[in-house]
Amino acid sequence: MMKPDPSARRRSLLKALSWESISNIVVFFLAYLMFGNIELCTIFFVISFLLKIGMFYIHERIWHQVPYGKRH
């Protein structure tokens, strides 16, 4: 049985934060170009950012438990 890696949770969170930062900045600017309303784009950005980080983190933690493709 593999020992849990204590840095794995932090790594998953950092991966989620870095990816979601990049993708949400792109979406923010696209939404602003399309709609031109900075307030609505900001609200959408914040809600989307928080929701997607949580979803990515949970997805990453589930995949961390899957043994497929891991070497022992």
Block means of pLDDT (10 residues each) for the chain, 72 residues, are 68 84 88 90 87 88 83 72
In order of 1, 43, 55, 57, 59, the CA distances from 64 in angstroms are 14, 32, 14, 10, 9
Residue 4 confidence (pLDDT) = 60
Residue 39 confidence (pLDDT) = 92
Residue 33: inside a domain? yes
Domain that holds residue 23: 11-63
Residue 42: inside a domain? yes
Query: Does pTM top 0.75 for this prediction?
Result: no
Residue 3 confidence (pLDDT) = 63
Question: How many domains is the chain partitioned into structurally?
Answer: 1
Residue 1 confidence (pLDDT) = 52
